[in-house]
């Protein structure tokens, strides 16, 4: 029987202590994962919001495209969403 590994993604921020705790948990358990910092990566932030239905809590753990954890052990950090650029009122 072949051993199947899942694709694991961690969405978080460098400032969130719970992202750090979840990362350490994954490393300790030797889980291969890709990490995205949603503060510095706008594309990752948009994927996070799409995956969570607009929830802004990190960390978020995604396995094979499915959210399996929002927050870590009941705790999380709320991300700020930058405001869109102001429109020039003189343009239609």
Give the chain's domain count. 1
Q: Considering only CA atoms, which of 70, 59, 81 is closest in space to residue 14?
A: 59
Over residues 13-65, the pLDDT tens digits come to 999 999 999 999 999 999 999 999 999 999 999 999 999 999 999 999 999 99
Residue 3 lies in a domain: no
Residue 84 lies in a domain: no
Q: CA-CA distance, 56 to 70, in Å (whole number)?
A: 9
Q: Considering only CA atoms, which of 47, 48, 58 is closest in space to residue 19?
A: 58
80 burial (CB, 10 Å; 0-12 / 13-18 / 19+) is: exposed
Domain of residue 29, CATH code: 3.40.30.10
Supply 26's token pair: 């994954």
Q: Which domain holds residue 74?
A: 8-78
Q: What is the pTM of this model?
A: 0.82
């Amino acid at each position: 029987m072949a051993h199947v590994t899942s694709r694991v993604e961690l969405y978080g921020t460098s400032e969130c202590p719970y992202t750090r705790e979840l990362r350490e948990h994954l490393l300790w358990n030797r889980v291969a994962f890709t990490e995205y910092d949603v503060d510095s990566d706008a594309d990752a932030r948009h994927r996070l919001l799409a995956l969570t239905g607009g929830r802004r809590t990190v960390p978020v753990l995604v396995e094979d495209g499915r959210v399996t954890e929002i927050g870590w052990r009941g705790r999380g950090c709320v991300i700020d969403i930058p405001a869109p650029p102001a429109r020039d009122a003189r343009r239609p």
